[in-house]
Amino acid sequence: MRVKEWPVAERPREKLQLQGAQFLSDAELLAVLLGSGRQGQDVVTFARKLLHHFNGIGPLLVASREQLLECDGIGPARVNQLQVVMELSRRYLKWQLERTDGFTEPSLVKDFLTSKLRHQCRELFVILLLDSQHRLLRYEELFQGTINAAPVYPREVIKLVMKHNAAAVILAHNHPSGVAEPSQADQRVTERVKKALNLIDVSLLDHFVIGAGAPISFAERGLL
């Protein structure tokens, strides 16, 4: 049975109009975005199969172009749709960080960094430069390493801080292996950067490690 033949209250588009997006399941939201299914499969069933294949909406949205194109029913146009959604979410989170009066919502910072780093296959070391009110001035990917490590040079951190006149800093990097637990090397690098920042009276607020599970905060662990 085609979706158009379903009861009105069960059709994703009509349900969206009548109840609002928050009442739709992940599969229903994805179905509205895609608009149509594939041959012999209605759009909701197609959406459910995609979510099952990628193990959820998050992995689907951060999947690479190559991974998406491997799926039957996904062509370049649909890849573009999905990647636009993910980029919009990243820009929304960045906008929230730029406008908020200080980092009163650490979960927002974690969400933003996760959206930026979790899908990366190489280790990246990034910095968030903040003003005196702890609003975001700039997000910068400073160093890129192998799958196991990224070289970190405190002098480059200092140069960037001085260039943008930042008053505080948050560091972050990802572990492509999936294990977010900070290593001894991570702790040594953090201490070196913190000492360098202290020389110019700039605060290091936190260092996040992004892996497969929940992000790890150095501040919450008492490692700063």
Q: How confident is the model at residue 33 (pLDDT cuts 50, 70, 90)?
A: very high
* Domain CATH code at residue 51: 1.10.150
Same domain, 26 and 53: yes
Query: Quick check: 103 pLDDT over 70?
Result: no
Is pLDDT at 102 greater than 60 in this prediction?
no
Question: What would the mean pLDDT of 51-79 be, rounded to a whole number?
Answer: 91
Q: Is residue 94 part of a domain?
A: no
Q: Total structural domains in the chain?
A: 2
Whether residue 97 lies inside any domain: the answer is no
Q: Is residue 96 part of a domain?
A: no
β-bridge mates for residue 208, sequence order: 172, 217
Domain with 215 in it? 103-221
What's the rounded Cα separation, in Å, for the pair 139 and 99?
14
Q: Which of 220, 191, 196, 218 is nearest to 207 (CA)?
A: 218
| Contact indicator for 79, 65 with CB cutoff of 8 Å | yes
Amino acid 151 reads P
Same domain, yes or no: 32 and 111: no
Of 55, 89, 123, the residue that ends a domain is 89
Distance from C-alpha of 26 to C-alpha of 44, rounded to nearest angstrom:
10
Angle at 181 between CA 189 and CA 167, to 5 degrees: 45
**Average of pLDDT values for 88-115?**
79
Question: What's the average model confidence in pLDDT over 132-149?
Answer: 82
CATH number where 108 lies: 3.40.140.10
| Range list of β-strands (E), the chain | 124-130, 136-144, 168-174, 203-210, 216-217
- For position 149, what pLDDT does the model report? 63
